[in-house]
């Protein structure tokens, strides 16, 4: 599910967008995520790996893989919340609605 991001900036922007969505919802624009610990950690991780002196036995783009994995986690969590809200937060359903939910159709009643 990971997308091959070409630049680190686009990857960070995507993570920032998902964090804003999770913290306040899709329509809120006055969210300050710059102090969010998870975004700070991701920024620090990318800054540490700007100059590679090969001191550690890590692959070249280890931080990028970590960031893409984190972004996939954020998107999946958001999509799961949307599905749960759509299908399970409606309270009591009628028999007809429950049948439609699983793809069945009840026979029509003739009241004559």
Is 42 among the domain residues? yes
> 108: which DSSP letter?
P
Helices (H) and strands (E) in the chain, counts: 4, 0
| Inside any domain, residue 44 | yes
Alpha carbon separation from 43 to 5, 56, 66 (Å, rounded): 16, 19, 12
Average pLDDT of the segment spanning 9-25 = 80
**Which of 74 and 112 is assigned the larger pLDDT?**
74
- 26 pLDDT higher than 50: yes
Q: What is the pLDDT of residue 1?
A: 45
pTM of the model: 0.54
> Is 12 contained in some domain?
yes
Domain that residue 36 falls in: 8-101
- The answer as to whether 38 is a domain residue is yes
Both tokens of residue 97?
């609605």
Tally of structural domains, the chain: 1
User: Quick check: is 75 in a domain?
Assistant: yes
pLDDT in tens, 50-85: 655 556 666 667 778 888 898 999 999 999 988 888
- Provide the mean pLDDT of the chain: 77
């Amino acid at each position: 599910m990971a997308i091959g991001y070409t630049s680190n900036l686009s990857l960070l922007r995507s993570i920032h967008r998902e964090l804003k969505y999770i913290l306040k919802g899709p329509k809120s624009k006055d969210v300050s995520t710059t102090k969010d610990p998870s975004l700070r950690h991701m920024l620090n991780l990318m800054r540490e790996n700007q100059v590679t002196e090969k001191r550690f036995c890590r692959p070249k783009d280890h931080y990028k893989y970590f960031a893409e994995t984190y972004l996939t986690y954020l998107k999946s969590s958001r999509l799961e919340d949307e599905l749960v809200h759509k299908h399970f937060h409606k309270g009591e359903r009628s028999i007809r609605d429950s049948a439609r939910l699983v793809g069945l159709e009840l026979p029509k009643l003739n009241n004559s």
